[in-house]
Structures are given as C-alpha cells and as structure tokens.
Amino acid sequence: MFSFKHNTFGVRFHYGHPDVFDRLFHLTRGGVSKASKVINLSEDIFAGMYFSFSSCYNSTLREGNVTHHEYIQVGKGRDVGLNQISMFEAKIAAGNGEQTMSRDIYRLGHRFDFFRMLSCYYTTIGFYFSTLITVLTVYVFLYGRLYLALSGLEEGLNQKRAIRDNKALQVALASQSVVQIGFLLALPMLMEIGLERGFREALSEFVLMQLQLAPVFFTFSLGTKTHYYGRTLLHGGAEYKSTGRGFVVFHAKFADNYRLYSRSHFVKGIELMILLVVYHIFGHEYRGVLAYILITVTMWFMVGTWLFAPFLFNPSGFEWQKIVDDYTDWQKWISNRGGIGVSPEKSWESWWEKEHEHLRHSGKRGIATEIILSLRFFIYQYGLVYHLSITDKTQSVLVYGLSWMIIFVILGLMKGVSVGRRRLSADYQLLFRLIVGSIFLTFLAIFIILIAVAKMTIKDIIVCILAVMPTGWGILLIAQACKPLIKKTWFWGSVRALARGYEVIMGLLLFTPVAFLAWFPFVSEFQTRMLFNQAFSRGLQISRILGGQSNERSSNHKE
C-alpha cells in the first residue's frame, strides 16, 4: 500500500467519498453543508462530491490549497449491468446540473485566472455541458435540414448547377463524415495502447471493442448524461438513484427497461427517427446518394442505439420464453390503475404521475421553456400539411386550421371510446362494440372516399400519420407542464388516456423488432458470446440451469 500527492492544474478538489473531515478547519472556511434541501438531498452526489466540493470551493475561494492523498491497496469492483451504470450516470449528471447552477461555480469562474478556469471547467461541469451541446446540435441540424426541405429552399439549391456539381463540397463532406463517425476520436486510445503494449495489440483491441458494440454503449450513455443534465438545468430536482451492488447476471424485464429509458432515450430516439424519415421523403438531396448516407448514417446509428441498446445489453434479451413473459408483464403494468399506495413498478398511472413530478417544483422560466420547446411539434405539423397532394395547389391558412380540426375530432373520439368503455362495456357490451365498429367503418369510408375522389395517395396517408402523431405528443407535453391548471378540469382524464395510448404505441414499436429477432435461436447465442466475457457467459448459463431447476421443483410441488 502506498500513497501519493496530486495537484494537477490546481483544481483537483476531491474525488470519491470523504471518510474523515477536519471539522474545525472547514467550519472556519464555510462548512461542509449548504442551506438547501436540494444540495443535501442526494448522499451519493453531494456527500461524495458536493460536501467536499463545497468545502474545497470555499477553501479555494479563500486562496487555500486542497491536497489529494490516495491509498491504493485493492481494486474496487463497480457495477457491470447497463441499468446500474445508467442509474449511476444519471445521478452524477443530475448532480453536475445542480453544480452548474450553484453559486460556488459562479464565484470560482469569476475569481480564477483564464487557464485555471478552463481546468476547473474541464474537471467539473464541462464534460456534461459539451455532451448536452453535442445532442442539441443533432436536433438543430435535423430541424434545420427539415426546414430547408419543407420550405422549398433545398429544391431551389438543387436547381443551381454550381452547387449541384460542386465536387469540392462533396469531398469536404466525405472528410467531415470520417470525423463525425468518430474514428478520429479513437486515435488517442490507439496511441496510448500502442505505446504501452504495441500497435498490433492496440489494433486488435480496437477491433474487439467494435465487435462487442462499445460505440453502442457510449452513444447510449451520451443520451443518459444529456437527458438528466439538461432536465436538471431546466427544472432542478436532482434525486438519489439506488444502483445496488448485487450480481447482475439476470434478465431485466421489458417494463423495467421501458420505465427507466422511456423519457431519456426512447422518446428522443423516435422523434429523431421521424425527422429522418420525413427528410428522406421530402428532401431534394443535391450532393448525391453517397454524401447523403455519410451525413445521416451517424444519426441513424444514434437512433438505433437509443431505441434498442437496453435490449442488446440485456442478458437473455432475445430468448422467446423471456419475451412472452415480458409482454405479459408489460400489458399488466400498462393496464393497472394507479392510486395511493400503488408503486410505479406496479402501475403505469403511478409511474406516469411520478415521471413528470419534477415539473411541480419547477420555476416559471422552466415551465415556459418546456412549453416553448414543445411548440416545435406544431411548427413541424405546419410544414407537413402543405405537402399533401390534396393541398398541393393551395397555401391558405385554412388548411392548417382544418388539420387541427381533424386532430380535435380524433381526440374527441378517443375520449368518447374511453368513456363508453368505462360505462357501457360491463352492462351494454354489445352496444359498445357496435359503436366502436361504426366509428371504424366511418373512418374506413372516409379514407376510401379521399383516395377515390380527392386522389389521396399512400404517401399522403403516411405523411398524415407522421404529422398528427408528434402534434399529439406536443399537446401532452404542454398539458403536463400546465398540470396545476388542467388537473382541476375534466380534461385531465383525457390527457391521461391519450398518454396511455402513446405509451402503448411506443411499447409496440420497441417490442416488435425484439420479438422478431427472438424467433431465431442463434441471435441469443450470438448476443451472449459476443457482448459478455467468458465468466459472465458461464454465469448466465448457470443461472438458466438453476432457474429451470427451481421452476421444475415448483411445478412438482404444485402437483
């Protein structure tokens, strides 16, 4: 066992949990706690980081030095399951969001010299802020390209020969795509491993990392950090998340993954997927197919990672029997009613209420920002409705108003069906089925008339669905932000019913590809062999054997 002293950049405040504090020393320098229940809320974030950060911040502001003594005796094993790692990164990202808004960072930023301030930024909140900017850049890029495509500017550029045949631009875009994919970022790792163990070993380890889907893991982790850091900046409310220290060779249920990643990854991944599909339909690409693929392939990779990484890194994630059990459990969870004493793990309603609970404690600026960000779905709908073949010859604002009228009719029918199911399905089941059947036949007749008379195409039907679905989600986000006002009215029940419908649709979109792959037995074997090491694979096989024996014993006991 040995120790060493570290004073890198003059900003190495503290790392890890403090075991002993010099109470009298820190009391004379501001103490180790703050007068805020939020800062003292999370033991892991603030006791491990902020208590020491606070004392170190105060010591540093008084021109003191904080030395770091580290004693290395044994290695420490950390969490190895994706869910545990994600929860750990979530609470650390939320803690950095609280630090970003703290007065300590503000004061240090004004009192440090330039180079020490950069070091402080890099070693504390800079990594999370850069991650947030990276994801926001993807959103701005896609919405900007969609604006060019829907407004007609890109079509105008396509008609200019100087831009269409610009070979230098195509070469620059192709070179930029190499950086965008991330190969350049892997060079420092290759150089470090090459100098330590040889470049052949470095290249083989790099290839092995790609085969074990390391880019998938780190891209998924990017979404976790961005969501919780950004949400904390907007609304505050960082909270402790228990990660556990158990052995993680177990299969996480679909409902567990859905609860954990629905808002942080799944919703954002589906939104980016819709934007890419709409741009593919209406985009007039003027750089050629190859350049288009090089630019959008990384975004499609991010979409696929955010949607399906939890199932790729889930042990036994593609076993058919597990898939059947997961679907039954998810249906039971999504249909259970919430209430007092019902945990979020037992009912979708309880989870949904807890999921946007942070909005209750948000300020006026946070609520206003949430509403303004939700308006992007309405602007997106405005751009799509004028690209239908039946509205190609008119630019009247009545077309946009008609689209909203159709949305309200659909919402009214959903509300009527929900009320009818609650009041008529028990005593007047036949009448309820007749009403639902007549509504379905009416919609089918309207579609047939539009196709036959108004020359509506299949493309128009797809565009209508792509326009209406995000608009309804924007209405949900605004209703959740205005919950204190809406909950007092009858409209809140409709909001809950609409939210449940969206959850069902998103669950089916995620579950269908996973169930399809589970049909093929080799997918599960490939996942176990490639993603996990030999010891983990052996432990997974042992857990299957023990699980099978316990099931046989329970069945024999029942007999």
For 355-395, what is each residue's pLDDT tens digit? 888 888 788 888 999 999 999 999 888 888 888 777 666 77
Query: Which sign does the torsion angle of CA 108, 58, 66, 85 carry?
Result: negative
Q: Which two tokens stand for residue 461?
A: 């039907």
pLDDT of 12 reads: 52
State the burial class of residue 284 (Cβ atoms within 10 Å of its Cβ: 0-12, 13-18, 19+): middle
CA distances from 248 to 91, 220, 251, 538, 539 (A): 20, 19, 8, 13, 10
Q: What are phi and psi of 68, to 5 degrees?
A: -120, 115
Amino acid code (one letter) for 155: E
418-429: string of b/e by CB count within 10 Å (b at 16+)?
bebeeebeeeee
How far apart CA 238 and CA 179 sit, in angstroms, is 34
* Spatial contact of 438 and 417, defined as CB atoms under 8 Å apart: no
pLDDT of 98 reads: 81
pTM check: above 0.85: no
User: Residue ranges of the chain with pLDDT lower than 70?
Assistant: 1-23, 25-80, 158, 160-185, 240, 242-249, 284-291, 391-393, 418, 420-428, 454, 530-559
Q: Which two tokens stand for residue 309?
A: 């990484």
pLDDT of 57 reads: 54
Amino acid code (one letter) for 169: L
- Residue (of 295, 281, 283) closest to 157 by Cα position: 283
pLDDT of 247 reads: 59
SS3 of residue 544 by DSSP: helix
pLDDT of 388 reads: 77
71-86: string of b/e by CB count within 10 Å (b at 16+)?
eeeeeeeebebbbbbb
pLDDT of 257 reads: 92
pLDDT of 3 reads: 35
SS3 of residue 2 by DSSP: strand
